Homo-oligomer: A and B are copies of this chain.
């Protein structure tokens, strides 16, 4: 990846002390390292000083040193016996509010040795960030939240190193990308002011912290790079996304969108970057829909309605290990991308109209009324994995329409602000797990994203993890990410009359101005 690694291994040429060469042990090592590093300053943490003599002597002064770059100096992480050709490892962490993903890398070969994904145990306190922030304000609340996530990280690190057969001591660096609140909870910093005017974090750019300061069970002196944020609502996860997309290396203007509870949107190229975030509504992630769920095995992620028969062809997410555990069981819910597919198909089939309202004639028997609200039967009880029918209500559709309208309005607003028309967009990157399941055709059909050639859309998958991995491996990537952070202009969305007008126009499928969506017009016609 990057040419200049953040973490460097070196075998300094050291001679054993003698009467004629009685430099102290620590200084002997530092001298050897400096010599090989063309005189760059080398620092040794005091806790290492305490055991260096013993280690140097144990290995008869034939050691391999591991260092990381900190500004204009190198900081020693550890030394290892030079004769054992040890592999050195690093961890990249996607610190999600729902799911965390740890990736174990071999730092020399830059090969991924293992990856583990696990739920954020803070979910037991609250699924949404706001609940957690409020909980953090209680007596002992912050400590509890921090302990929950820390223990889970340590536990899963242990699993990962066992599976990969490496030692925790060999993990000599870590990078962490998460949103601003998650980052604060991970660091044990009070998130109180993140959700209160004027919405400021404790820190934007944390300096590198050592693993022992954070109580992470890897090499105690391993540096931990925690991604910076631009503000309370623009976190390190999105900066990791921008880094992973490489949009700042291109002359063409790109969009990067990360859709979750918030729609986070970045537009820019190698010269400039503008970002904004707006509440897109939870419809797109786990959903306001009754049957809405996070993407997981057994969850509906795609729907096709046969134009001839009106039959629903339903695709579900396979179990990760390919096991048949849920084969034979029906779907258990629907995720955001499935919902987009479903509504798109309903629209194309004429089962919902321009306003997203059910058309009873076209829905036929599938339309039922429950508690006075119209529901469309998607999977009847006998065919579902839960034993209950999976249905889509008018309320669910209304929620999705508001979300997609918000997204399109945000995209329109930000591109107007920078005076770039959609035609000029070279790439439209979609980040996040959600993004990797989304079908751009369906999203265009409902008017959530602009009607651009389909190959403009690039799904990047887990860009938090990808960006964290890049930063773990490369100093150039770290420079880029801090450059990205400093370069971003954050557009505070002004929900004024103009915005509301744009929003109202976008609340139709695909839009009141159908000329904006010629490809949809062709499909519908």
Contact = CB atoms under 8 A, between A and B. Distances in A.
A58 interface: no
Interface in A183-225: 187-190, 193, 197-207, 209, 213-214
Interface in A369-402: none
A367 to B, nearest CB: 47
Contacts of A53: 189-190, 193, 202
Given A46-B213, A190-B54, A207-B43, A202 B26 contact: yes
B198 A22 contact: yes
B24 A204 contact: yes
A314 interface: no
Contacts of A72: 71-72
Contacts of A17: 193, 198, 200
Given A71-B73, A213-B46, A22 B199 contact: yes
A150 to B, nearest CB: 14
Contacts of A26: 202-204, 206
A17 B203 CA distance: 13
B22 A71 contact: no
Nearest to A52: B202
A19 B54 contact: no
Contact of A204 (B19, B27, B50, B229): B27
A35 to B, nearest CB: 15
A18 interface: yes
A41 interface: yes
Interface in A22-45: 22-27, 41, 43-45
Nearest to A27: B204
A207 B46 CA distance: 8
Interface of A: 17-19, 21-27, 41, 43-47, 49-50, 52-54, 71-73, 187-190, 193, 197-207, 209, 213-214, 229, 231-232, 492
A22 B202 contact: no
25 contacts: A19-B197, A19-B198, A19-B199, A19-B492, A22-B198, A22-B200, A23-B200, A24-B200, A24-B203, A25-B200, A25-B202, A25-B203, A26-B203, A26-B204, A27-B203, A27-B205, A41-B71, A46-B187, A46-B206, A46-B207, A46-B214, A49-B203, A52-B202, A53-B190, A72-B72
Contacts of A21: 198
B198 A232 contact: no
Nearest to A233: B22
Contacts of A187: 46, 49-50
Contact of A201 (B24, B46, B189): B24
Tell me how many chains of this kind the complex includes: 2
A206 B50 CA distance: 11
A47 to B, nearest CB: 8
Contacts of A22: 198-200, 231-232
A205 B26 CA distance: 8
Nearest to A231: B22
A353 B190 CA distance: 81
A17 to B, nearest CB: 5
A73 B18 CA distance: 36
Contact of A209 (B24, B41, B46, B190): B46
A200 B50 CA distance: 15
Contacts of A50: 187-189
The 8 closest A-B pairs by CB, nearest first: A26-B203, A24-B204, A27-B204, A24-B201, A17-B200, A53-B202, A19-B198, A46-B209
Nearest to A214: B46
A455 to B, nearest CB: 38
Nearest to A232: B22
Nearest to A207: B43
A50 B43 CA distance: 24
A501 to B, nearest CB: 24
A73 B207 CA distance: 13
Nearest to A194: B24
Indicate the member of A72, A187, A198 with the most B CB atoms within 10 Å: A198
A72 B199 CA distance: 33
Nearest to A190: B53
A123 to B, nearest CB: 25
A479 to B, nearest CB: 15
Contacts of A209: 46
A54 B202 CA distance: 9
